[in-house]
Amino acid sequence: MRSRHQAFLLILCCVLAAFSAPADSTVKDSLLQPGTRAPSFSLITFDGTRTALYEVCGDTLLKPYSNKIRHTVIISFWATYCAPCQKEIPELQKFMAAHTTDSVKAFCISIDKEGSAIVEPFVKKMGYTIPILLDQYKKVAARYGVSHLPALFVVDTHGIIRYSSSGYDGKTGLKDKLENILHSIKNPPVIDEPHPGKNPVQPAPRPEK
């Protein structure tokens, strides 16, 4: 009996420890990493309209007759039951409000299995204004390697993931983080190229021992 009681207490402690983990810490999982081409998706909004990623970014836009501008795209995977998501989305909204004239778009992709029935009233209650897309079967989330929420991706104008993270980091302001990422996309580092007709500088040979 004593061994059973001790085993029960051990299991209980493990469960409590798991639930006491800080919700605002970032988590490493199987997320797609920077440098990866962003998987395509076409998801519906509350009114049934479809939105595709490569309508707004990528080397070849899907609907150039309706949009000819390539955008940097911020994608946030979230759910109504995710408390840290309710901290991140308002910060994302503030960032987007400061970039209304820039070629930047944001999509919040909900993975709630109930779909619009539960998500739409929640969005209205919370006052979210960023376009909401529905991924109730989590197929797109799986392509992006999402296993923890919230999960954030920044995709550049060519459709390449430039930033990815999961979990909410309350210590670092999201706005400043996104500003830095956007700046690096707009101002890529300059790589010195050899002058035409001249050989590139070779590294000095190692001295013989």
Domain that holds residue 152: 33-186
The domain total for the chain is 1
On whether residue 79 sits in a domain, the answer given is yes
Q: Is the peptide bond before 84 cis (omega within 30 degrees of 0)?
A: no
On whether residue 58 sits in a domain, the answer given is yes
Read off the CATH number of the domain in which 161 is found.
Answer: 3.40.30.10
List the pLDDT tens digit at each of the 209 positions of the chain. Answer: 445 544 444 443 343 333 333 333 344 458 999 999 999 999 999 999 999 999 999 999 998 888 899 999 999 999 999 999 999 999 999 999 999 999 999 999 999 999 999 999 999 999 999 999 999 999 999 999 999 999 999 999 999 999 999 999 888 889 999 999 999 998 877 655 555 555 544 554 444 44
Cβ atoms of 43 and 50 within 8 Å: the answer is yes
On whether residue 20 sits in a domain, the answer given is no
**pTM for the model:** 0.77
On whether residue 67 sits in a domain, the answer given is yes
